[in-house]
Amino acid sequence: MKKSFTMLLTALLTLSFMLSACSGSNNSKTSSTDPAPAPSANANAEKNAETKEAPTEITIMLPLNTTEAPPDTIKNEVEKLTNTKLKYQFFPADSYEEKLNTSFATGSLPQVTYLKNQSTFVQMKEAIKDGQFWEVGPLLNEFPNLSKMKPEILDNTKVDGKLYTLYIGRPLARQGIIYRKDWADKLGLGAPANVDELFAMAKAFTEKDPDGNGIKDTTGIADRNELVYGAFKTVSSWFGTPNTWGTKDGQLQPEFTFQQYYDTMDFFKKLRDGGYMNQDFAATSKTDAVNMFTSGKAGLYIGGSMQDIDNLNKDLIKNVPDAVLDTHSMVAGPDGKFAQWMIPGYNNVVLFPKSAVKDEAELKKILAFFDKMMTPEVANLMYWGIEGTHYTVVEGKAKAGDDKELNEREVKGYKDSVIGESETNGMYEPYNTLPGRIHAEELILENVKVGVADPTAALDSATYTEKGVELQQIITDATYKYIYGQIDKAGFDKAVEDWKSRGGSKIIEEYNAAAK
């Protein structure tokens, strides 16, 4: 009996030790003085299999920037790594705001709702203030990876000092020039050092037969109907215009009240009057502007992102095999100074509607999915695709596969939803071989050194939230009319007064009060 008792006691002690070890391995808390590394997605997948937890069901709505929704290839792998059952609701980006507004009005937003851009975020702020979305700020410290998100960017998405969103990170200043280096070399031109040389390049690309076909069938700049992500705002920053808002006479004022904004309009009017850019740019879509450039008929593509050079080059060399592209961004203004406007560090955010997420417990399960999204395994899967199929790893970086159409079809839809950025989610940086793209990445770092932030990025104005987009259209229309020669300075000034009388003065007042 004593022997049996001893054996039983030994077994019980062994079982107790095993249970204690298991309990310890499931403890996700880490010491603040000696933090443990965040568990990998594979470790999470193994843990899920061991504990047999039921998959978390999540419905996600987001804009689609491709012609058709992606197949489930990537989604199925993400579900395995995150122990989730995901239902994606993709809607075309061009009509996404309409779908977003309809879903909000009918109370049918899903648990995870991506917005379209910063403008739609502004429009949603009143609903956020009304308590229709979950606050997530106090919960982020419970998640080892979400807590890595950059606080300076999170601050730019706060509403009344509270955080309701997760952000999709983007470089602060990607904009610049993509240009035909082969044309410039042929004409003896270097990258434009200042706005006068930029004008001269556009003129030469139009008048000096850079393609050598003996026909005057080229133009300088291919631009589109977008004052922010087209050429206008980028060139405007080179002229020294503040980034959306600036300080004048000790008070915040909108950019279009500054002389440099007028100087930029004059610059574009002179370009258009000379025929050095597409005459109908205010009615030209991005697609048409890109096609104009990649068909070999234009030599300068300005604004947006210099990282677009990869796709532009791919399509251009189909039409002009010997074409060579390069990037450039350091263009000095009339005062000899450099400046680049900067975004607030994100291009979109995700919200969690209370109409779809019933309680904090459910919210935490959804946040746990996003926490796993910020592991290298999941972030790489969603951003780059499946290794060996959509990309390969070269020198510690991701080299996209040669089948661009496959990547566009299967990966792009999910890529646009990855939160954070490589510094915070650990995903691979791109492996670039195109000299112009390598140059672009170097310039993006240089841009930040002379970057100009929007001083109102983290400020609230109730009137701007309510009427800002509508009022901005007054200025947009007036800007185009000025450049087209349909109104003069007095006409533009009248539009500014119209903007002020219809709510703009209230916006100025509210932003200045918030700044104090």
pLDDT exceeds cutoff 90 at 17: no
**Packing angle, helices 259-274 and 231-238, rounded to 10:** 120
Q: How far apart are CA 46 and CA 80, in angstroms?
A: 10
Sheet holding 176-180, edge to edge: 219-221, 298-303, 176-180, 325-328
Q: Is 277 helix (H, G, I), strand (E, B) or coil?
A: strand
Query: pLDDT-derived band of residue 53, with 50, 70 and 90 as boundaries?
Result: confident
Q: How far apart are CA 373 and CA 358, in angstroms?
A: 22
Which among 425, 448, 472 is the end of a domain? 425
Residue 509 lies in a domain: no
Look-up of token digits 């496959």: 406
Q: Which positions ≥6 away from 490 have C-beta within 8 Å?
A: none
Q: Is 135 helix (H, G, I), strand (E, B) or coil?
A: coil
Domain check: are 179 and 257 in the same one?
Answer: yes
Which among 412, 443, 458 is the end of a domain? 458
Query: Residue 295: which domain range?
Result: 175-341+435-458
Domain check: are 337 and 386 in the same one?
Answer: no
**Packing angle, helices 376-384 and 41-51, rounded to 10:** 110
Asked if residues 416 and 62 have their Cβ atoms less than 8 Å apart, the reply is yes
Return the H-helix or E-strand segment holding 169.
strand 166-169
Look-up of token digits 């969603």: 382
- Tens digits of residue pLDDT in 84-127: 999 999 999 989 999 999 999 999 999 999 999 888 998 899 89
**What pLDDT score was predicted for residue 404?**
87
- Classify strands 298-303 and 176-180 as parallel, antiparallel or unpaired: antiparallel
- Classify strands 397-400 and 451-452 as parallel, antiparallel or unpaired: unpaired
Q: How many domains does the chain have?
A: 2
pLDDT exceeds cutoff 90 at 212: yes
- Strand ranges inside 250-375, DSSP E: 251-254, 298-303, 325-328, 340-341, 346-351
At 414, the amino acid letter reads Y
pLDDT exceeds cutoff 90 at 338: yes
pLDDT exceeds cutoff 50 at 36: no
- The radius of gyration of the chain's CA atoms, rounded to the nearest angstrom, is 26
pLDDT exceeds cutoff 90 at 412: yes
Asked if residues 452 and 242 have their Cβ atoms less than 8 Å apart, the reply is yes
Domain check: are 187 and 230 in the same one?
Answer: yes
pLDDT exceeds cutoff 50 at 131: yes
- Tens digits of residue pLDDT in 441-495: 999 999 999 999 999 988 889 999 889 989 999 999 999 999 999 999 999 999 9
Domain check: are 153 and 200 in the same one?
Answer: no
Residue 283 lies in a domain: yes
Domain check: are 196 and 308 in the same one?
Answer: yes
Residue 482 lies in a domain: no
What's the CATH number where 379 sits? 3.40.190.10
- Percent of the residues in the chain that have a pLDDT greater than 70, as a whole number: 90
Q: How far apart are CA 308 and CA 174, in angstroms?
A: 10
Residue 306 lies in a domain: yes
Domain check: are 259 and 145 in the same one?
Answer: no
Domain check: are 93 and 121 in the same one?
Answer: yes
Domain check: are 128 and 218 in the same one?
Answer: no
Domain check: are 149 and 114 in the same one?
Answer: yes
C-alpha pair distances (Å), 322 with each of 206, 213, 319, 325: 19, 14, 9, 10
DSSP of 344-374: -SEEEEEE-BTTT--SHHHHHHHHHHHHHHT
- Tens digits of residue pLDDT in 369-386: 999 999 999 999 999 999
Residue 119: other Cβ atoms inside 10 A: 14
Residue 51 lies in a domain: yes
Look-up of token digits 């947006």: 304
Residue 498 lies in a domain: no
3-state secondary structure 290-322: HHHHHCCCEEEEEECCHHHHHHHHHHHHHHCCC
Which among 406, 425, 444 is the end of a domain? 425
Residue 370 lies in a domain: yes
Domain check: are 263 and 362 in the same one?
Answer: no
Q: Residue 263: which of 205, 330, 202, 195 has the closest Cα?
A: 195
- Strand ranges inside 35-128, DSSP E: 56-64, 84-92, 112-114
**What pLDDT score was predicted for residue 24?**
37
Residue 486 lies in a domain: no
Domain check: are 155 and 261 in the same one?
Answer: no
Q: How far apart are CA 104 and CA 355, in angstroms?
A: 9
Asked if residues 287 and 66 have their Cβ atoms less than 8 Å apart, the reply is no
Is the backbone of residue 195 left (phi > 0), alpha (psi -120 to 50) or beta?
Answer: alpha
Domain check: are 354 and 235 in the same one?
Answer: no
Q: What is the mean pLDDT of the chain?
A: 91
